[in-house]
C-alpha cells in the first residue's frame, strides 16, 4: 500500500493534497452552523447528478413520449419513483441550501475583500443553477412545464432589433415544442458538469483565501483548527439534519412543490388559468410583473439576479465582521430577507390591483437596499468609529488601509 | 444566537406556509369535507364503479390490469375484469376520441393521474361527482364545474331515496379513493420505506451529534476568541 502511495506521490501530489486541503486545512474554529451550507450545496449537487443520470436512462426527450416516460419511471422502473422524487425534491433543496448560503454570506459580509472572486464565482454558479433548473422543469412536459418555458423564452422577444429571432433560436421553433424539449434536455445534462467545474474554481479560491468567520477578523494561528476531524464531524452532523428534512419531503410529501397543473400533459392549445414558476423563481417573477413595461420588467428581473455581484463595490464599510457589529447593515439585511419573502408570496398571487401594489413596493425596497448601501455603509462606519472601536479593530482597519484587505500584518 | 436561530426557523415556517397556502387557494371552490377511507374494500368498490361506469368514456392508460393486484385483487378476479384484454394491457375506454367528441363535444381526460392533476385532489373528485343538481328549469348542472360536459353518471341529482343517496355518496368516495391509488400506486411502499429511512436517519444523526460533541470536546474552550 505504501509502495503504491509512494509511486503515485512521485507523479501526482495526492498525499500532500489530502493532507493540505482535506485534513490539515486550517479552518476558523468559531464557524457556526451557518457555514455548513456550502458543504450541503456540494452534497445536493452530487445527489442531483447521480439521480439525474439514472433518470436519463429511462426518460425520453420527445414531445410525444416525455410525459408518459416520466410516468413509466414512476410506475414501472424499479425504485423509479424514489429516484424521480429525490431529483424533484433535490432541485428545491438545492435552491433552499443555496439561498441560505447566500444569506449567510450577506449577513457576515463574507463577499468583501479578499473574497470577491468567491462571491463572483458563486454568482456564476447561481446563474448556471437557475438555467439548469429552468430547463429541467420543461422535461416532465406537463402544462406548467410547457407554459413556463413558453413565457420565459418569450421574454427574450423584448430584446431590441433581434427579439423574435432570439426567441426562435432559443426554442428551435416558433413555439415551444419538440425541438425545445430536446435541446433543453441536452443542456440540462450538460450544465451540471459546467457547475462542477465552477465549483472547483470556487473551492480553489476558498482554499486560497480561507473561510470567513463570524468575527470577520483573520484569526491567529491558534484559533484555526484542522478541518479534519472537527469540521468533518460538524458537517456530517449538519448533513444528518438536512437529510431528515429532505427525506420527509421525498417520502411523505413529494408532491408538495409540484403544481397540480403539471400532472396534466402539455397542451399548446390550452393556457392554464395562472402561469406560476417554481417557488425559487417567484421573487424574480414578482419583480418582472411589478414593472409596468415588459422590457423594463425583463431588465429589472435580470438586474435583480445580477445585482448581487456588485455588493463588493457597494459595501464600503471597513468595519470587519458581520452584521452583528454593524447595526444599520443588520437592519438592512433583515428588511431585505423579509422583502424577498414578500416578493415570493406576491409572485404566486394573481396580479390583482392589491398584489401588484405590494409587489411594486417590495420591488422598490429590493433595489433601494442595494442603492442605499454605499451611503449607509460609509455613514455607519463613520458613526461607529466616532463612537470608538476597540483599539485592535482600529489597528486592523489602519493596517488594511495601508496594505489592502487580507494583506500581511 | 439562540434567538436568531428561532427567528430564522419562524421565517422558514412563514415561507413554507405562504407557498403552500398561496397555491392551494388559487382555485376558490368549496369542497365536501367528509373523510375518504382508503381500506381495501373501499378501493375495490371504487374500482368496480370505475370499471362499470367511468371507463365507458375515460381511459386509465397508466394503469395495467395486472396492477390491480396492488389493491388486493386475486389473479382470478383480475382475469374476470379484463375479459378479452391482456393482463399487461392498459385500462382503456371502449370509445375513442372521435366518438367522444361527437357525443359530448369534448375529449375525455385520462383518469390515472386525475387526483394529482386537480387542486383539492381526492376531495375534488368526490365533490365533483356529487356536484350535480337540478336547476329551477329542470336542467341539471354541476355547481363545482358549470361547464362540464360529463353527464350526472350517478344520477345523484334526481335520486330522491335517502338510503340510495347514501350509497351513491359512498361510491363517490370510493371512486376518489381508487383514483388516489391509480395516481400514486407506490404511495404505501413509499411511506413504509420512508418510516425505515427516517428511523435510520434519526439514529445516525444522533450518533453524528455525539461524534461531533466528543471531537470538539478535545478543544480547549479558553482559546476561542
pLDDT of B26 over the 60 cut: no
For residues B196-202, average pLDDT: 98
CA distance B60 to chain A (A): 12
CB interface of A with B, residues 15-44, below 8 Å: 29-30, 32
Whether residue A225 lies within 8 A of chain B, CB to CB, comes out as yes
Stronger pLDDT, B60 or B143, i.e. the higher one: B60
Chain B residues whose CB is inside 8 A of the A348 CB are 18-19, 22-23, 26
pLDDT of B17 over the 80 cut: no
Distance CA A168, CA A154 (A): 9
**pLDDT value of residue B6:** 59
Whether residue A88 lies within 8 A of chain B, CB to CB, comes out as no
Catalytic residues of A, by residue number, are 207, 211, 234-235, 278
CB interface of A with B, residues 256-315, below 8 Å: 256-261, 263-264, 273-274, 276, 279, 282
Determine whether the interchain pair A236/B185 forms a contact, defined as Cβ–Cβ distance below 8 Å: no
Whether residue B70 lies within 8 A of chain A, CB to CB, comes out as no
pLDDT band, residue B64 (cuts 50/70/90)? very high
For residues A353-358, average pLDDT: 96
pLDDT band, residue B179 (cuts 50/70/90)? very high
Between A260, A337, A349, which is nearest B119 by CB? Answer: A260
Distance CA B180, CA B124 (A): 11
pLDDT of A405 over the 60 cut: no
For residues B218-225, average pLDDT: 62
Q: Which of B18, B92, B207, B224 to mutate to test the interface with A (most CBs of A within 10 A)?
A: B18
**Could you give the C-alpha distances from B66 to B76, B80, B83, B185, in angstroms and in order?**
11, 12, 12, 12
Q: Helix, strand or coil for residue A142?
A: strand
Determine whether the interchain pair B225/A215 forms a contact, defined as Cβ–Cβ distance below 8 Å: yes
Distance CA B142, CA B144 (A): 5
pLDDT of B29 over the 90 cut: no
pLDDT band, residue A36 (cuts 50/70/90)? very high
Whether residue A367 lies within 8 A of chain B, CB to CB, comes out as no
Q: Nearest residue of A to residue B209 by CA position?
A: A237
Could you check whether the bond before residue A114 is cis, i.e. omega within 30 degrees of 0? yes
Lowest mean pLDDT segment, chosen from A127-131, A146-150, A213-217, A281-285: A213-217
For residues A177-189, average pLDDT: 97
Distance CA B184, CA A84 (A): 13
**pLDDT value of residue A218:** 74
Chain B residues whose CB is inside 8 A of the A243 CB are 201, 205
Query: What value does the mean pLDDT of chain B take?
Result: 87
Whether residue B208 lies within 8 A of chain A, CB to CB, comes out as yes
Stronger pLDDT, B99 or B215, i.e. the higher one: B215
**pLDDT value of residue B10:** 63
pLDDT band, residue A318 (cuts 50/70/90)? confident
pLDDT band, residue A99 (cuts 50/70/90)? very high
Q: Nearest residue of A to residue B17 by CA position?
A: A345
pLDDT of A303 over the 60 cut: yes
**pLDDT value of residue A109:** 92
Determine whether the interchain pair B194/A252 forms a contact, defined as Cβ–Cβ distance below 8 Å: yes
The ipTM is 0.91
Report all structural domains of chain B as residue ranges with CATH numbers, in order of start: 30-188 (1.10.760.10)
Whether residue A354 lies within 8 A of chain B, CB to CB, comes out as no
For residues A332-361, average pLDDT: 96
Whether residue A330 lies within 8 A of chain B, CB to CB, comes out as no
Report all structural domains of chain A as residue ranges with CATH numbers, in order of start: 32-275 (1.20.810.10), 277-409 (no CATH)
Q: Nearest residue of B to residue A237 by CA position?
A: B208
CA distance B203 to chain A (A): 10
**pLDDT value of residue A404:** 59
pLDDT tens, B113-169?
999 999 999 999 999 999 998 888 888 889 898 889 898 989 898 888 999 999 999
pLDDT of A235 over the 80 cut: yes
Q: Which of A23, A32, A233 to mutate to test the interface with B (most CBs of B within 10 A)?
A: A233
pLDDT of B98 over the 90 cut: no
pLDDT of A409 over the 60 cut: no
Query: What value does the mean pLDDT of chain A take?
Result: 94
Amino acid at each position: 500500500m505504501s509502495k503504491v502511495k509512494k509511486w503515485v506521490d512521485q507523479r501526482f501530489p495526492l498525499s500532500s493534497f489530502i493532507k493540505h486541503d482535506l485534513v490539515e486545512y486550517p479552518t476558523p474554529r468559531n464557524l457556526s452552523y451557518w457555514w455548513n451550507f456550502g458543504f450541503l450545496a456540494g452534497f445536493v449537487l452530487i445527489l442531483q447528478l447521480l439521480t439525474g443520470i439514472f433518470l436519463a436512462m429511462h426518460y425520453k426527450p420527445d414531445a410525444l413520449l416525455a410525459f408518459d416516460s416520466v410516468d413509466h419511471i414512476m410506475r414501472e422502473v424499479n425504485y423509479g419513483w424514489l429516484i424521480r422524487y429525490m431529483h424533484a425534491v433535490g432541485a428545491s433543496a438545492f435552491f433552499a441550501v443555496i439561498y441560505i448560503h447566500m444569506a449567510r454570506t450577506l449577513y457576515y459580509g463574507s463577499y468583501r475583500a479578499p473574497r470577491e472572486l468567491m462571491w463572483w464565482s458563486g454568482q456564476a454558479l447561481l446563474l448556471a443553477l437557475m438555467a439548469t433548473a429552468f430547463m429541467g422543469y420543461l422535461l416532465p412536459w406537463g402544462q406548467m412545464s410547457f407554459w413556463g418555458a413558453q413565457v420565459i423564452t418569450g421574454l427574450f422577444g423584448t430584446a431590441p432589433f433581434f427579439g423574435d429571432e432570439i426567441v426562435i433560436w432559443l426554442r428551435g421553433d416558433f413555439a415551444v415544442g419538440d425541438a425545445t424539449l430536446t435541446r433543453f434536455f441536452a443542456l440540462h445534462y450538460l450544465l451540471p458538469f459546467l457547475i462542477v467545474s465552477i465549483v472547483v474554481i470556487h473551492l480553489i479560491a476558498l482554499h486560497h483565501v480561507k473561510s470567513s468567520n463570524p468575527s470577520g477578523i483573520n484569526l491567529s494561528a491558534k484559533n484555526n483548527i484542522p478541518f479534519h476531524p472537527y469540521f468533518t464531524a460538524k458537517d456530517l452532523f449538519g448533513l444528518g439534519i438536512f437529510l431528515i428534512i429532505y427525506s420527509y419531503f421525498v417520502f411523505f410529501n413529494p408532491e408538495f412543490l409540484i403544481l397540480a397543473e403539471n400532472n396534466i400533459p402539455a397542451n399548446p392549445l390550452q393556457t392554464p388559468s395562472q402561469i406560476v414558476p417554481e417557488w425559487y423563481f417567484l421573487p424574480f417573477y414578482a419583480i418582472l410583473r411589478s414593472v409596468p413595461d415588459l422590457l423594463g420588467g425583463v431588465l429589472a428581473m435580470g438586474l435583480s439576479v445580477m445585482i448581487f455581484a456588485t455588493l463588493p463595490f457597494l459595501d464600503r464599510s471597513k468595519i470587519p465582521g458581520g452584521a452583528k457589529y454593524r447595526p444599520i447593515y443588520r437592519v438592512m439585511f433583515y428588511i431585505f430577507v423579509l422583502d424577498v419573502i414578500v416578493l415570493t408570496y406576491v409572485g404566486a398571487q394573481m396580479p390583482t390591483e392589491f398584489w401588484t401594489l405590494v409587489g411594486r413596493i417590495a420591488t422598490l425596497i429590493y433595489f433601494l437596499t442595494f442603492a442605499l448601501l454605499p451611503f449607509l455603509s460609509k455613514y455607519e462606519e463613520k458613526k461607529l468609529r466616532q463612537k470608538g472601536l476597540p483599539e485592535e479593530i482600529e489597528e486592523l482597519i489602519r493596517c488594511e488601509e495601508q496594505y489592502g484587505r487580507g494583506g500581511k500584518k | 444566537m439562540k434567538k436568531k436561530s428561532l427567528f430564522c426557523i419562524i421565517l422558514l415556517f412563514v415561507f413554507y406556509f405562504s407557498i403552500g397556502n398561496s397555491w392551494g387557494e388559487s382555485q376558490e371552490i368549496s369542497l365536501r369535507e367528509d373523510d375518504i377511507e382508503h381500506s381495501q374494500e373501499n378501493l375495490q368498490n371504487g374500482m368496480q364503479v370505475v370499471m362499470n361506469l367511468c371507463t365507458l368514456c375515460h381511459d386509465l392508460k397508466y394503469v395495467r390490469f395486472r396492477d390491480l393486484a396492488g389493491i388486493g385483487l386475486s389473479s382470478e378476479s383480475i382475469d374476470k375484469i379484463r375479459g378479452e384484454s391482456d393482463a399487461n394491457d392498459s385500462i382503456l375506454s371502449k370509445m375513442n376520441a372521435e366518438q367522444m367528441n361527437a357525443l359530448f363535444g369534448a375529449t375525455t381526460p385520462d383518469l390515472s393521474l386525475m387526483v394529482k392533476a386537480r387542486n383539492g385532489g381526492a376531495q375534488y373528485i368526490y365533490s365533483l361527482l356529487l356536484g350535480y343538481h337540478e336547476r329551477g328549469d329542470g336542467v341539471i348542472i354541476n355547481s363545482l364545474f358549470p361547464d362540464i360536459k360529463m353527464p350526472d353518471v350517478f344520477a345523484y341529482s334526481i335520486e330522491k331515496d335517502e338510503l340510495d343517496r347514501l350509497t351513491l355518496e359512498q361510491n363517490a368516495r370510493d371512486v376518489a379513493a381508487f383514483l388516489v391509488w391509480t395516481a400514486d400506486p407506490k404511495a404505501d411502499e413509499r411511506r413504509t420505506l420512508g418510516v425505515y429511512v427516517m428511523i435510520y436517519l434519526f439514529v445516525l444523526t444522533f450518533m453524528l451529534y455525539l461524534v461531533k460533541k466528543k471531537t470538539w470536546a478535545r478543544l480547549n474552550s479558553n482559546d476561542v476568541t
